[in-house]
Structure 1
């Protein structure tokens, strides 16, 4: 790997994982072009792996275009900034954001991100002379990446980057689903479907809200398997359903018809639909969804020990073990895996 050229120069070769689909990623030498106006080139220190990447590799993601550099849960340092960047500079510690810190995501980034391109409709990656696409506006499976300046959150430089990389998605999504989206209140009964990293973060959010009187390590009072019962799970949990339910698996579950709040957290397949009798909504049942939990960043909460994060990491792997990460995801042997770049 040639490291003799300046990091900000066009065509600087770095290692990146170019994903071709079908569960496989290859380690390639790529070129990351210098940043244009309102863009950043950033150095990835560590990246976590979300189930969304596995979903994209499966071919079911309608916005999954290949070849691309996947990854969206990273911890990074700004390498260089393009013209017009005023709030960030080289050396700043940041976490990438699929949803920028502004209200104009649908207008500024959503359309181009859905096509795996930068906001200006271009790609900043090439490999052997061919264009490589971006992913979720972040592409963290690389030594260096290119992002829009609105697509990162500046965080405390004291934060250990290998510990906070997944706070930009999985942790924020689950924790925020309970605290920000549902706004669970004390004495309520909550049900969480799916106990991966996102589901465990939901449990932690419920614990912070003093929902569970007999909380375990991150807040659960008991765990059950829906397939073990012959009747609907809402009838097993309580008489008619729970007050709040959090769906973290990409399928549809139920809570109490009259007053329950159901929060869709997991990413469902593109063809899936939610169907119900409108009367459920008329008499008070509420459906909500959440996008990254409504947070900019949870790093300060982690630094001040208001939330747990270290306990979620079950595996630490090297960059050349990226395909092993997906094996762990599909075998359900990992809660959160962090890859050090």
Structure 2
């Protein structure tokens, strides 16, 4: 693989990858681009760097991230945003930014990149702005899951919803992202964490992440937001939606208490979905927020999230339910589609 001056690094062992529903959701409504190397959540070791790259060197341990931080645009310079103008997520782009070419090929024909990572590979090439340098002592087969979903849910709670000690929090969707949001609420000292999910098999696992009460909307003959309002004497202090279902988004907003309630939307909806609620829900001083990657700036903030794990403030092992070699990657998709696991580590062996 080649490198481009000042812009790329080459990671050996884009190793210990994982699959998640976000990968599929992000492709809804997108123009297909094939052939392509997929994969976007990983940990790896820098093999080489292009001329002009000074922030990284061979041997560094890194987390490739599906979005980036150029450090120069208005978003990167703002303390309130992580939506980098240059490197924010783009599912259509399949080439490097610097020269519009792919770094992968077969028989002289290009194979396209995916989300700036293409981590289902032993080697990959990334823009310097989409790679976060981390503590080399951190086990890559654990902290790799912090490069996408877990940080998204955790940050949605800690950075955006910001529940206070004693608050009540509702989390819609108890997959890995939702459970990470519950973990963030637990770390914040929430007194009640109400989990909402249509899959009752998730309920036992959810208690490990601080969920204190569980609701299956199918068990009720009224909207789930009304159920939550009745349970909490007017509504929860904070809610976090992690499903991508627009009706769950509406329920998450309408179940927060008037006057101070804050709802945070995390899930990725279908492109034609519309969010509808009565304007009085806003005029009655409820707040609706959205978040992208938990409002973490990848290069600036991810090393600190890894340190939370190293300092035993954050447990990531409980998110990892399976581990398989790359040759069995289809099993990981089966686990995901059947809802039988949270995170499946894919080992790049051989």
TM-score range relative to shorter protein: 0.7 to 0.9
* 62-71 or 328-337: bigger deviation: 62-71
Secondary structure, aligned partner of 2:16: strand
Structure 1 residues 55 and 80: CA distance shift in structure 2, 3 A: same
Contact 1:234 1:242 in 2 (8 A): no
Structure with bigger helix share is 2
Give the count of matched residue pairs: 307
In 2, Cα distance between equivalents of 1:322 and 1:329: 11
CA displacement, residues 263-305 of structure 1 (integer Å, 9 cap, x when unaligned):
1111212222212222222221211111111233121111111
Paired position in structure 2 for 1:332 = 339
Q: CA deviation at 1:113?
A: 5.5
Q: CA deviation at 1:127?
A: 2.4
Contact 2:87 2:129 in 1 (8 A): no
Of the three residues 74, 93, 97, the one matched with 1:115 is: 93
Paired position in structure 1 for 2:67 = 99
Query: Map of 1:63-78 to 2, 5 A cutoff?
Result: 64-78=32-46
Structure 1 residues 285 and 302: CA distance shift in structure 2, 3 A: same
Secondary structure, aligned partner of 2:137: coil
Which structure 1 residue ranges, 5 or more long, are not aligned?
Answer: 1-32
Give yes or no for the alignment of 1:42 onto 2:11: yes
Which structure 2 residue ranges, 5 or more long, are not aligned?
Answer: 77-82, 194-205
**Alpha carbon RMSD of aligned pairs, Å?**
2.0
Query: Map of 1:112-261 to 2, 5 A cutoff?
Result: 114-120=92-98, 121-212=100-191, 216-239=207-230, 240-251=234-245, 252=249, 253-254=251-252, 255-256=255-256, 258=258, 259-261=260-262
In 1, Cα distance between equivalents of 2:292 and 2:89: 16
In 2, Cα distance between equivalents of 1:128 and 1:328: 34
Q: CA deviation at 1:71?
A: 1.1
Paired position in structure 1 for 2:201 = none
TM-score calculated relative to the size of structure 2: 0.82
In 2, Cα distance between equivalents of 1:126 and 1:250: 34
Q: CA deviation at 1:313?
A: 0.5
Q: CA deviation at 1:334?
A: 1.1
Contact 1:302 1:309 in 2 (8 A): yes
Give yes or no for the alignment of 1:314 onto 2:321: yes
TM-score calculated relative to the size of structure 1: 0.85
In 1, Cα distance between equivalents of 2:275 and 2:331: 34
In 2, Cα distance between equivalents of 1:62 and 1:257: 37
Structure with bigger strand share is 1
